[in-house]
Structure 1
Amino acid sequence: MRNLCCTGLALLLSVIAAIPSALAQTAPATRREAVTNTTHGIVVDDPYRWLEQAGTPEVEAWAAAQNVAAERYAGADVATREGRLLQYANQISARGARMVSGQMMFMRGWIGSAYQGLYVGDPEGEARYLDGPIIDLNDPSRSATETTVNFWPSPDGRLVLSLTAPQGSNWSELRLIDVASGRVISRRADVHRSFSSADWLADGTGYVYAAYHSQDGAPARGHIVLVTLTGEEREVFSAIADGDDRQRLLSPRMAFDRSSRLFVEATSGTSGTSDLYIVDLRQTGPPRNLSQGGGTWLFLGARDDSAWVFTNEGAPNGRVVRVDRLSRTVPTMRTIIAEGPGAIAAGSQVGGNVYGMFGNRIALLYRENAIPTMRLFDLNGRLRSSYEIPPTGSVWSNSGGGMKGDPRRAEAYYQFLGASEPASIYRLDLNAGRATLVSAARSAVDRDDIVAERRFVERPDGARVPIIIAHRRGLDLSQPHRLMMYGYGAFGWVSFLWYQPHVIDMLMHDDGVFVVAGVRGGGEFGTAWHEAGRGRNRQVAIDDYNASAEYLIAQGYTTPNLLVANTSSIAGSLVGAAVNQRPELYGALVLDYSVLDLARFSEFGHARYWVDELGSPADPDALRWLMAISPYHNIGASGRCLPPTLIRVGPNDRTVPPFHGYKYAAARQNQSGCDTPVFLDVMEGAGHNTGSTPQEIAHSDAVELEFIARVLSPSN
C-alpha cells in the first residue's frame, strides 16, 4: 500500500526508520503478548491478538512498516512489471447484461475490480451512465467511492432498481431510477449488499425487495417489503413469522404472469439449505412452504397455476419438479427432470450457479465428470438441445441463476469468463439451442494464446479430483515450469479458469503454468462432493490439495522448488493447512485476503456467517477440528520450516478483516529457527480483492510476481 496515510505518524516513521535500506530476508519485528484462552477445555494461544485492533496508531504503523518491507523485498523490477500488468488490468467489461424493451442494461467495471457502474446502451459502444461509479478507460487510477451490486429493470424498461453500496460498507441503498432522465426517484437504506435482492410485479405497478434491520452492524430480521409506485408499502413476508429465528437470506421472485403471486427463497446462512415459500399478495394469510424435507429449493418460473422448481432434496445432483394446483391448499408435485449422473450447477453459495426458465424452455448447466454442459428442456422436462462449455472458462454470475432475461421470452443473456477472456456476454436462443456472442471485453492477449487441459488426480478412496492446467500455447511441457496452484473447495463453488492479470503475465512472460484444483468442498460433482470436504471433513479437502501437488510434480509439470501454493478468502484455512502439513511440496505460498485464525473467525466481518461451512468455534467438537487445521495455530506442526510466503490483505476488507493476515504474518516471521522470507503486502485500495482500480491491481500483482520470481530464483 504505497500511499498509506494514517494516524500515529511519528510512530510510523520510527518503525520504518528501523528497516535497513538494503533489506535482506527480514521484516520488522512484532511484539508478542501472553494471551491465552481456554475454551471447551482447549488451550488457545493468541500472542498477536493486539493486531486485531485495526485503526489504532500502533497497528497502522506496524502494517505500514510491514508493507514497506514487502515492497523493498520485491525489488526494483516491480515498476517494469506493473507497467506490463496495467495493459491486462486496464480493461473494461460488461456484466449482468439483459435486454429490456429493445435496450440493453448492464454493469460496467474494470477487470478484477469489484467496482462497477450501471449503464444503458451498447456494451461495446456508446452507453449512457445511470448509477454507481463512472468507469473511464482513460483514467485507470481513478478510485470509486461506491459500486453497483445488482439491478432490476421494470418490465417496460422505464424504471430500474439499483442496489448500490459505498466503499467499505456492506449496507447499501436501493435506488429507484428513471431510465430516460437518470433521475433518482427514491432511496431505501434498509438493504444489505450480500443479502438483499428485488423483483418487479408483472404489471410494473410496484416491486418487492428484501429488507433487513442492523444488529451490531450485521443484517437481522429479514423481511420482504412490497412498494407500489403510488407510494404504498407494506411487509408481505417475514423470515421469523413461523418462529424460525435463524438468519435468512431472502430472495423474492415474482410470477411473470400474475402480479399477486410472490415466491420467496429463504436460505439459512451459508448452509446451502433453503425453503421456498409462496405468498398471495391479495390475501393476508400466512405464506405456504412448498419445500418438502431438507435440501435446496430454488424458483425457476411460474405460469398459470403451476411453478417449476429446482431441488436437491433426495437427489444430491439435483432435479426439477413441477408444482401444480398452486391455488389449492395442498398443491401437487412431480419430478419432470430426474436426477442424473451429472450435477446441476445450482448449489454454490458464492456464485457460478446457472439455471433459469425463459419462455417455454428451462436452461440448466450440468457438470458431468466435471465437464460443464448447457442443457435446454421444454416445460415437460424433455431434453431439446445441449452444448459443452470450453474448459478455458465458465459461465459466471455471483447472484441468482446466472442468466438474465425476460421470463416471457425464450432468450437469455449470460457471462462467460475465461483465462484469456475478461468477460464475454452471450445471447442464448433457447428455442434454437444456440448461443451467440454479443459483447467481448477488449484484451491485451488473444483468446487462443492460452490453452487448457483437464486431468484427474486419483485418490485412495476412489475419488477423482479434477484439475485444470493452463499455459501459453506452444509451451514445452517436457520440462518443469514455475507453477501456481489455486485451491478453494468451499461453499459448493466449482473451480474454473477466469481472467486474472497476474496469471496472464505469468503464463505469457514467465513461461509459467496455472492450475485450479477442484478439491472436495467444492461443487464439481454436486452436493456429495461439497459435503465430503466441509466442516469436520475439511482434512479431506486438504489432502486433495496436497495430492494434486504430488500429481503435478510426478507428471513433470513442475518441481517442489517451482510450485507456488495459492488461495484466497475462506480457502486460506485449506491451503494454509496444506502447506503447514506438507511444506516440502512447495517452493512458495501466496495467501490472498484469507481466513487463517479458525478460533476467532466467527467474531468478525462477513466471515461470521461461515460457521455452517467450517464449523462453529462455539461448538466443542467443531473447535477441536478447527484447531487441528487452523493455519495460524499450527505453523510449527510439521517440525519443518515453511516455504517463503507473501500474505496479501485488503485494508477495506469487510468480509475477511486484515488482522487474519497480520497475525499469521507475525507468527510466521517469528517461527523459531526459520529464516525464510515472509512478508505482508497491504494492497492499496483493496477490499476483498486486490485493488479498486487497474493501477492498484497492477501494482499489487507486480509485487506478488516479483516476490515469486525472487524466492524461486536459482540463487535461492
Structure 2
Amino acid sequence: MSQPLRYPPADRDEVVQVLHGHRVADPYRYLEDPDADRTRAFVDAQNALSRPILDALPAREPLLAMTTALLTAPRRGVPWERGGRYFVVANPGELDQDQLFWAPSLDELLDAPTLLLDPNDLSADGTVALTAARVSPDGRLLAYAVSEGGSDWRTIRVREVAGGVDRPDELRWTKWVDPTWLPDASGFLYWRYPEPAGAGRGGALTDAMGAGELVLHRLVAGSGPPQAADRAANPGPDEVIWTPPDRDWLADPWVAPDGRWLVLTSSPGTDSRSLICAHRLRTDQGRVVIDPAAVPVVGELADAHHVVGSDGDTLYLRTERDAPRGRLVAVELATDAPTAASWRTVVPQHEQDVLVSAHPARDCFALVWSTDAAHRLQVVDRTGAHRDWPALPAPISLIAVNTRAGSPEILLGVGSFTARTRSFRLETGPSITLTALPGPGGDVPLPELVTQRRRTVSSDGVEVPMTVLRRADLAPGPAPTLLYGYGGFDIALLPSFSAMFAAWVAAGGVLVVTNLRGGGEFGADWHRAGMGHRKQQVFDDLIACAQALIDSGDTTPAQLAVHGRSNGGLLVGAVLTQRPELFAAALPTVGVLDMLRFHLFTIGWAWTTDYGSPEDADDFAALLAYSPLHRLTPSTRYPATLICTGDHDDRVVPAHSLKFGAQLQHCQAGPAPVLLRVDTRAGHGMGKPARALALEYADQLAFAAAHTGLAPV
C-alpha cells in the first residue's frame, strides 16, 4: 500500500448553502438519499474497492478466527424474576440472535429452561433482533419488541408465557421506551410515532421524525384492540391525549409495584436533565385506570433525576439536585406539590464517588457507585445505613442489577475488561450471602492481561484518566496501540468485556480506553465540561492521551490507531482532521461527521442538547469549527482510515460516513488508504448477527494491525 489508491470516481455537485453568513459547500449532498441510483453506485464501488483489500490483510484470518470464537461462544445474560417465574436471554453460541428462556425456579432456569422466544425463526438472514422483553408483574405475559435489519424502529407484540403463543396485539412505529406494564397486567404503556410520511420510499430510515406520544395499550380477552384505539396515558387538558411540549421531548413511565402511582420522567432529546410528575392509579370496574390529575415532583429543567422505587406514597429518586455526583432522596407524594426543600436525603452525595443508580429490594437498596470509572456495589437499609456484605472483585462494571421491591434476592451481572459477564445471586435476608451462578461454559481461553490506570493533563490543566491493557507476557515498550474513546451524552466507559478489544490484546496489541469530558464517569460537572460550546475539550482530552502515550515511549505515531463508534466516531473524525500526524490509522464507525446537518435526519434533532443546534448562530460557529466533514483540507496527508457504517442505520444515517469518506478520499495527499465498508441489512450495531459482527471487528482490527505494525502473536 505504498502507492496511493485509485479511488472510484464520485460526482462533486456544485451545492453551496449560505448558513449564518458562511458559504458552505456540500458537493456530496446527493449521498444523503440512500436509495438514489448515484448513492447505490457509490456504495457498490466503495465496497468493491475495500473488500479485496481487507480480505488480503495479513492479520485478518487469525483475527477473524478469534473474534468469531469469542462472539459465538455460549453466553447467558443476567436472570430476572417476575411473578415467581425466572427469565434469561441466552445463546448456545451458534445462533445469529439470542433467545429468551423461562422456568419456574432459578435452578431450573440454569439447568433446563423452556424456550419462550427465538428471534432466529423470524427471518432467514438472522437480522431480526429481540430489542425489548418486559414480563408482566404476574409473570403471565411477555411484551416484546423486535427490530429488522438493524433499524431502531420496533414492533411490539404480546406472548403468553405458559403457552408460548402470541396474542393478536401488534404495535408498529415504536422506539426508545420499552413496554411498561400496569400493575394488574391489563395493559402497558409504550412510546409511538406517527407512521413516517416517507415510509413507502424508504424515508423511515432517513426522514426527520415528528413528535411521539406515550400511549396506553389495553389488552382484551381473545384479541387486542387496534393500535389506533390506544389512548394517551399522560392526560392533557382534554384528559385524552398528551402532546409533548415540543417535538424533542420524550416521557419515560414507571409504575409502582404496589399499584399506587404512575410516575413520568420527561426530558428534551438526550438531555440528562428531567422533569417528573406523578399520577395516582386507581381501580375502576375491575381494572387499573390513571387519575388525570398530576402531582408535580420536579417542575424545573435543571438537573438529572431518576426514579428508584416507592414505598406507599413515598417516592425514591436518584437526583443531581444540589449534588452533581448524585444522592438518594425520598419525596412524599401525598403532598399536593412537594418541593425540593421538602425532600429527605436517604444517601447523601459522596465526597468523590458518583452514585450511578439505586435498586430497591426487601428492606434495602443496592447502590451502584462509580469510583474512578469502575463500579462498586453497596447495600444500605431504607434509612441509608450501610450493611456488611461480601465484596465483588475489582475493577468491574455492574452490567445489570435485577431486584424486586419485595424480594430479598438481587441478581447481578458483573463485567470487566478481562472477563465476560458473570452472574451472581445476592441474598439480603437476615444475613447477606453472595453466590456465583454457573456460567454457560465454552469460554475461549485468553492470555493473562495486565491493567494499568494512567492519567495525563489535558489542554486546560485538568487530569484525564485512561486504562491501559496489554498481555502480561509481553515486555513493556513501544507497541501497536488501539486508542478508544467516546466522550458524550453522559455515557461512562467502564470495565466491560469486548470481543473486539479482547482479540486485539490477545494478538499482542495494547488497548487504551479513555475517560474523556462529556462522559458520565465523574458526575454532571464532567459531562457538562464536554457539552455544546465546550465540545472541543473532548477532542483535546483524547489528543492529550495520545500525546502522553507517545511521550512516555509506550507507542509512536506510526503505531497508534484511534477508534470510536457513533459519538465516538465524531471523536475520531475530529482528531484525525485536527491532528492527522498523531495517528497511523483511524477507525470511525457509524460516526456523526456532518455537524451542520445532523439534526435534519431521523432522531438527530434530539442530539442538539449535547451538541448545540446548527440553527443557532453561536452554536453553528462552534460546530463548524470542529465538524469533521468541513475540517477536511485538500492536499493533506491523513492517516489510513477505515470508515464503517450500515445502510440501515436510522440513528446516525449512513450519509455521514459516505460524505466524509468521499471528501477524505478527495483530500488525501498521502499514500495511506481511505476505505469505506458499508454493511447491508445492518444499522447502528443493534441486533447484528454474531458472525457479521465478527467480520466487522476482524476487518477493523486487521486494518489497524496492517498500519500500526502489529503481527498477531
Which category of TM-score, normalised to the shorter sequence, fits these structures?
0.7 to 0.9
Q: Cα 1:227–1:468, aligned 2, differ >3 Å: closer, same or farther?
A: same
| 1:587 counterpart (574, 578, 584) | 584
Residue in 2 that maps onto 1:360: 363
Question: Is residue 273 of structure 2 the alignment partner of residue 273 of structure 1?
Answer: yes
Give the counterpart letter for 2:413 in structure 1. Q
1:649 equivalenced with 2:650 (yes/no)? no
Q: 1:229 to 1:237 in 2, by over 3 A?
A: same
Decide whether aligned partners of structure 1 residues 411 and 178 sit closer, same or farther in structure 2, where only a CA change above 3 A counts: same
What residue is the counterpart of 1:99 in the other structure?
A: 81
- Secondary structure of the 2:444 match is coil
Aligned twin of 2:417 = 419
- 1:302-337 deviation per Cα after TM superposition (whole angstroms, max 9, x unaligned): 112211111112211111111125265658422221
1:207-252 CA-partner distances (Å, limit 9, x unpaired) = 4444444455536241241635567975331488487235332222
Instruction: Map residues 277-296 of structure 1 onto 2, 5 A cutoff.
Output: 277-282=277-282, 284-291=291-298, 293=300, 294-296=302-304
| 1:88-487 aligned within 5 A | 88-95=70-77, 97-108=79-90, 115-121=97-103, 125-134=111-120, 143-190=125-172, 192-201=174-183, 203-214=184-195, 216=197, 217=204, 218=209, 220-225=211-216, 227=218, 234-238=231-235, 241=242, 244-257=245-258, 259-282=259-282, 284-291=291-298, 293=300, 294-324=302-332, 326=334, 328=336, 330=338, 332-346=342-356, 354-385=357-388, 393-396=396-399, 402-431=400-429, 432=431, 435-440=434-439, 442=441, 444-446=443-445, 449-459=448-458, 461-477=460-476, 479-487=477-485
Alignment match, 1:704: 700
Question: Structure 1 stretch 479-488 or stretch 243-252: which is displaced more?
Answer: 243-252
Partners of 1:687 and 1:54 in 2: CA distance = 13
3-state SS, counterpart of residue 301 of structure 1: strand
Residues 92 and 433 of structure 1: CA distance in aligned 2, closer, same or farther (over 3 Å) = same
Alpha-carbon offset, residue 686 of structure 1: 2.9
Mean CA deviation greater in 381-390 or 407-416: 381-390
Counterpart in the other structure of 1:499? 497
What percentage of residue pairs aligned between the two structures are identical?
26
Deviation at 1:355, TM superposition (A): 2.8
Q: Secondary structure at the match of 2:293?
A: coil
Q: CA deviation at 1:156?
A: 2.7
**Structure 2: distance between partners of 1:330 and 1:502:** 48
Query: Are the equivalent residues in 1 in contact too, given 2:368–2:376 (CA < 8 A)?
Result: yes
Mark the CA change 1:215 to 1:693 in structure 2 (over 3 Å): closer, same or farther. Answer: closer
The separation in 2 between residues aligned to 1:593 and 1:112, in whole angstroms, is 26
Q: What is residue 28 of structure 2 aligned with on the other side?
A: 48
- Find the residue that maps to 2:456 and give its secondary structure: strand
Residue 57 of structure 1: aligned partner = 37
Check the 8 A contact 1:214/1:220 in 2, yes or no: no
Matched-pair contact (CA < 8 Å) for 1:421–1:441: no
Matching residue of 1:16: none
In structure 2, the residue matched to 1:12 is: none
Does the C-alpha gap of structure 1 residues 394 and 284 become closer, same or farther in structure 2, counting only changes over 3 Å? closer
Which secondary structure does the structure 1 equivalent of 2:570 belong to? helix
User: Counterparts of 2:4 and 2:671 in 1: how far apart (Å)?
Assistant: 11
2:613 to 597, 612, 616: 616
Secondary structure class of the residue paired with 2:437: strand
- Are 2:65 and 1:83 aligned? yes
For structure 1, list consecutive stretches of 5 or more residues without a partner in the other structure: 1-19, 347-353, 397-401
Q: Does the aligned pair in 1 maintain the 2:141–2:160 contact within 8 Å?
A: yes
Query: Structure 2-normalised TM-score?
Result: 0.87
Q: Deviations over 1:31-57 (max 9, x none)?
A: 222211111112211111122221223
Q: Is the 8 A contact 1:35 1:49 kept in 2?
A: yes
- Is 1:556–2:557 an aligned residue pair? no
Q: Which whole-Å CA distance do the structure 1 matches of 2:390 and 2:632 have between them?
A: 46
CA distance in 1, matches of 2:96, 2:331: 38
Is 1:658 matched up with 2:659?
no
* Distance (whole Å) between structure 1 residues aligned to residue 374 and residue 242 of structure 2: 42
CA distance in 1, matches of 2:358, 2:55: 47
Give unmatched runs, 5+ long, in structure 2. 198-203, 283-289
The more displaced of 44-53 and 617-626 is 44-53
State the Cα deviation string for residues 89-126 of structure 1 (Å, max 9, x = none).
21243335302344321223599999544222466554
- Shift of the alpha carbon at 1:685? 4.3
Measured after TM superposition, the shift of residue 504 of structure 1 is 2.0
CA distance in 2, matches of 1:58, 1:111: 39
> What is the alpha-carbon distance in structure 2 between the residues aligned to residue 330 and residue 588 of structure 1?
55
Task: Give the residue type in structure 2 aligned to 1:277.
Answer: C
TM-score relative to the length of structure 1: 0.86
Residues matched between the structures, number: 674
Counterpart-to-counterpart distance in 2, 1:617 and 1:512:
39
Q: How far did residue 455 of structure 1 move?
A: 1.5
How far is the alpha carbon of 1:368 from its aligned partner?
3.1
Contact 2:151 2:682 in 1 (8 A): no
Q: 1:594 is paired with a residue of what secondary structure?
A: coil
Displacement after TM superposition at 1:435 (Å): 4.2
